[in-house]
Amino acid sequence: MSGRLVLALALGATVLAPLVAPTYHVLLMLPFMAYAVALLGLNLLFGYTGLVSFGHALFLGVGAYTGAFLTSVFKVRSMEVILVAAAALGALVAAPVGALCVRYVKIYFGMLTLAFGMVFYTFVLKFYRLTGGDEGMPFLRPTLLGRSIEGLPKTDYLAGPYYYYSLAVLVLATLVMWRIVHSPFGLCLKTIRDNPTKAETLGIGVARYRWCAFVISAVYAAVGGALLGPPTGNVDPTLAYWTQSGNIVFMTLLGGFASFFGPVLGAFVFIYLQDWVMSVVPFWRLIFGAILAAIVIAAPGGLAGLWVRRPSVEASSS
Amino acid sequence: MILRAEGLRKLYGEFCALDGVSLAISAGEFVSIIGPNGAGKSTLVNVLTGVLRPTAGAVTFRDRDVSGIGPARLARLGIARSFQLVQVFPDLTVLETLQAAVVSRLGHGARLFASLAADRAVREGALEIAELFGLGRKRHVPARHLPQGDKKLLDVASAFALRPQIILLDEPTSGVSTADKTAIMETLVSASKRIGVQAIIQVEHDMDIVFGYSDRIIALHEGRVLADGPPAAIEADRRVVDTVIGRRARAR
Ligand SMILES: Nc1ncnc2c1ncn2[C@@H]1O[C@H](COP(=O)(O)OP(=O)(O)OP(=O)(O)O)[C@@H](O)[C@H]1O
Ligand SMILES: [Mg+2]
């Protein structure tokens, strides 16, 4: 099956899901789509630039808290304003954090991002009066494209308008990211991932490109974070905790960082598998962890790698 | 004078790899740097191209002090290089590698939302170099699948794709058979003419190549310049013959 066909089928199924699938599973698509947006960004850094961030929950948190503040403190309900503000704040926070982190590579980069993530987590937890501490803040129902949808029961709102709104954001984010990775800029990122020394001698300023990739990935994570708010209606510090950072890195590995859509697939499998395991077994974390470990061992290139590798093997044997 | 180095010193910890090296390269010159293993040839190339910072001394490029500005800015100013230990982008194809160099040269790297495939200037620039270096038919092969000789060629070709004013090649023909060496050298020379490279500096162990192509030879030994002059003078220099060229070459 060609990639385009699979993509078209997946998109078609996603569009039709609210009409045919049980509401419960439709609602699980919401965090999937939000994480998918964040992962597209994370993978620009990971798969395309070769930097693994263990602190991206920081930007999920920035996005989600932006929405919570705007809706519950500033009475701004427009989801478009929230998304733009989340993106802007994500970039604003990422600019100095990134400038510091991209001076380091490999595990040092990872640890530094982790440290910044911890700082942010502690900040939202301890500045109780500003952030509500561990209880978090309400993320009030936003208006979509200027239309207030107050009348609708919450589930209908989420499984209907909000679902399609999230899908539209995901599609748009995907198109933009597709452009970025296939641009001259994207090519420069790949040279840095493959061989920074060589890239530098070709006149490609490694630190600057890494910084740009970092900021873009933070913008994506912040937009994803903002999308995560409405389904729960509440934003709390667990969203910014380091285990979240670990989860999104894991989703990326699970799906396959070497492929554009791999991380999106990873988010999908992670979320539905987690939900299913939680519902059928006690000690679900144990089982879930074991299943994930087994997948990663069996498919080191991620799930997308299983599928992508086949054509290249055929090509080389012909 | 395009490139000038004055009093370069490079210490690795206690060890002194370059001990007061001065040299000057003029437009139109093909200069070979020779010397026994460990003489400091690669260290010199690395210092001249900004990959290593000298412990002391200065490098000037077209009357501009470029010491310590780093390889990326030097590359944009017009100094390109290839490596002794071949450096490629394993997952990028030949074409992508050359495109990256052209993107960098044309300053298209800031184009976030433009299509690389539709960038004709970049594509044509890359294809031209691929053809010049005989890599045209392999343009869609990822670098990691290339044979060693082609990797070396790609490393060199990508430096040429920058259309530099001066190019430094650290053993461009090492690990290649004698027959192929001459072919590579011919490619290098004709590519330089096509592109308008003003000076070539190469590190080379093969004395046939060194004496066959150089306008000038610089002999290094233990981090110092032992001799610097035209091939005839180098060949007549006893100290160079004893320490660098060896008896075999003298008998020639
Ligand atoms: N990073 C380093 N740390 C410590 N010593 C080094 C380092 N790089 C090189 N050296 C030492 O410095 C000396 C000069 O090294 P260099 O690589 O410049 O020699 P070379 O002339 O290029 O030799 P070859 O012909 O083997 O390539 C050698 O003795 C080498 O062992
Ligand atoms: Mg060397």
Calpha distance A118→A132 (Å, rounded) = 17
Check pLDDT > 70 for residue B250: no
Point out the least confidently predicted range of A47-56, A296-305, B117-126: A296-305
User: How many angstroms separate the alpha carbon of residue A162 from the centre of ligand 1?
Assistant: 63
Contact residues on chain B for A204, CB-CB shorter than 8 A: 72, 100, 104, 109
A76 shares contact with chain B (CB less than 8 Å): no
Check pLDDT > 50 for residue A312: no
Point out the least confidently predicted range of A135-149, A276-290, B155-169, B205-219: A276-290
Structure tokens, B163: 């259309």
Write down the pLDDT at residue A176. Answer: 98
To the nearest whole percent, how much of chain A has pLDDT over 90? 75
- Homologous superfamily assigned to B79-163: P-loop containing nucleotide triphosphate hydrolases (3.40.50.300)
Gap between the terminal Cα atoms of chain A: 19
In sequence order, the 6+-apart residues with CB closer than 8 A to the CB of B182 are B209
Rounded mean pLDDT of A17-30? Answer: 94
Which of A149 and B186 is assigned the larger pLDDT? B186
**pLDDT tens figures, B3-13:** 999 999 999 99
Write down the pLDDT at residue A175. Answer: 97
Structure tokens, A269: 């499998």
Check pLDDT > 70 for residue A310: no
- A308 falls in which pLDDT band (50, 70, 90)? low
Q: Tell me which residue of A162, A204, A164 sits closest to A184, measured CA to CA.
A: A204
Topology of domain B1-78+164-252, CATH: Rossmann fold (3.40.50)
**pLDDT tens figures, A40-89:** 999 999 999 999 999 999 999 999 999 999 999 999 999 999 999 999 99
Contact residues on chain B for A103, CB-CB shorter than 8 A: none
- A316 falls in which pLDDT band (50, 70, 90)? very low
Highest mean pLDDT of the ranges A102-106, A150-154, A218-222, B177-181: A218-222
Kindly give the number of the ligand 1 atom that is closest to the alpha carbon of B41. 21
- A311 falls in which pLDDT band (50, 70, 90)? very low
Provide CATH 3.40.50.300 ranges for chain B. 1-78+164-252, 79-163
Check pLDDT > 80 for residue B175: no
Rounded mean pLDDT of B86-107? Answer: 97
Q: Tell me which residue of A64, A5, A77, A54 sits closest to A31, measured CA to CA.
A: A64
- B174 falls in which pLDDT band (50, 70, 90)? confident
Show the domains of chain A with their CATH numbers: 22-308 (1.10.3470)
Write down the pLDDT at residue A1. Answer: 62
Residue in A187, A205, A206 closest to B100 by CB: A187
Which of A289 and A59 is assigned the larger pLDDT? A59
Check pLDDT > 60 for residue B94: yes
Calpha distance A222→B241 (Å, rounded) = 67
Q: Tell me which residue of A196, A277, A241, A310 sits closest to A55, measured CA to CA.
A: A241
Pocket of ligand 1 (CB under 6 A): B 12, 15, 17, 35, 37-43, 84
Structure tokens, A261: 């859509």
Which of B214 and A3 is assigned the larger pLDDT? B214
Nearest CA to ligand 1 atom 13: B38
